[in-house]
Amino acid sequence: MKAYKGFNRSENGTLSCRGFVYEPGKTYRHEGEIELCKSGFHACHELWQTWPYYPNNGERAYYEVECGGDMVESKDGDGKFVCSEMRLVKEMDVTDVARFDDAGSFSGGFANVVLCRKWNHINKEGKILSERWFDEAWRFSEGFARVKLDGKRNFINTEGKFLSEQWFDNALDFSDGFAVVKLDGKWNFIDTEGELLSELWFDDAYDFFEGFARVKFDGKYNFISSEGKLLSYQWYDGVGNFYEGFAVVHDNGKCNFVDTKGKLLSERWFDGAWCFSEGFARVKRNGKYNFINTECKLLSERWFDNALDFSGGFAKVKLDGKWVIINTKGEFVEE
C-alpha cells in the first residue's frame, strides 16, 4: 500500500524516526505485535497528514513508502497507521511547501502552523493562507478560523479574508452559523456575513443548540433565535440548552420546560428537571423521580427513588431499593 512518512534528517543525511534508522530502497519487517505509537512502522495515507508529526522546518525529509503486512489504523481520523512491513520508495519534493516550526491537525482543509512564534494556516498543498502572521490562530470551524493580533480577535475565511472590520476582545468558534463575540465587556453573535445578530449586547452568551442560544442580561437568562428574536418575555434564574425541542428553565428554585415558541410545558413546576432524551425527560418532585413526555404526560403513576435517562427505548429506575428496567409505555420489563 502506498503511503507517506516523515523523517528526521541528520547533517550526514541519515534518516531516522523514533530512534530507528532507515535506508531508501530497503525493506524493513517488524517482529511481534504492532501498536500505534509504540511498536511497528508508522506512516500516513497523505503527505500533508505527516506535517503535525514532522513539521517542515528544513531538517526533515518526506518519503513515499510501500507498506504491508499487519496494519492498525488510528481511530482519531488523522490518517495515521502502523504496519509491520515498510520500504522507502522515493523522496518527496517539498520545495514548494512553506516552512513552519509546528503544525496542528487539519480541519476544514487547513491546519494552523507556527513559525518564529507567529501563527498562520496552511492548506494541503503546502501554501500559507494569509500574508499576515498572527499572535495566535485556531482551527477552522464552519468555514472560519479565529485569529488574534495585538490582543484583539477576528475571523478569517478559507480565502484569507477577514470576516469583520471590527476586531473583538474575545471570540468563540462558529457553531450552527454563528459565533459568540465579546466587545467592551458585553457579548453578541456574529454570522457568516459579518453581521451582528442583536442590537442588544448581553452580559453573557452561549453557543446555539437547535436554533436557539442562551443569553444573560441583568442576572437573568433567556434565549435568542437565529433571527435575533428573544424567545420569551419571561427571563429566568437559569436555563439549559434545547434538546428535542425543549429546554429546562429554572425560576424561584423550581424547574419546568419551555418549547421553541416560549410556552411552558407544564402548569406545575418541579423540584428538578433534566433535558429530554428519546421523547422523555426526568423530573423530580418531593424527593421522587418520574418521566414526562412532550405532551406533558407522566410516564408512570408511580414515582421512583431514582431514575436514569432513556437510551435505546429503555430507562433504569430504582424502586424499593432495587433497580429495574422500564420501557416507553411505563411497563417494567426486567430486574
Q: What is the pLDDT of residues 93-114, one digit of tens each?
A: 999 999 999 999 999 999 999 9
Rounded-to-integer distance, Cα 66 and Cα 81, Å: 13
pLDDT at position 334? 64
Distance of CA 254 to the CA centre of its chain: 32
Q: What is the pLDDT of residues 148-194, one digit of tens each?
A: 999 999 999 999 999 999 999 999 999 999 999 999 999 999 999 99
pLDDT at position 273? 98
Written as one string, the DSSP assignment of 64-115 is EEEEEEEEEE-TTSSSEEEEEEEEEEEE---TTSPP-SEE---BTTEEEEEE
- CA dist 258 → 211, 212, 215, 220 (Å): 14, 12, 15, 15
Q: What is the pLDDT of residues 33-71, one digit of tens each?
A: 999 999 999 999 999 999 999 999 999 999 999 999 999
pLDDT at position 114? 98
Q: What is the pLDDT of residues 211-258, one digit of tens each?
A: 999 999 999 999 999 999 999 999 999 999 999 999 999 999 999 999
> Mean pLDDT throughout 10-16?
92
Q: Is residue 300's pLDDT more than 80?
A: yes
Query: Please, which pLDDT band fits residue 119 given cuts at 50, 70 and 90?
Result: very high
| Residue 146 contacts residue 127 (beta carbons within 8 Å) | no
CB-based contacts of 95, cutoff 8 Å, min separation 6: none
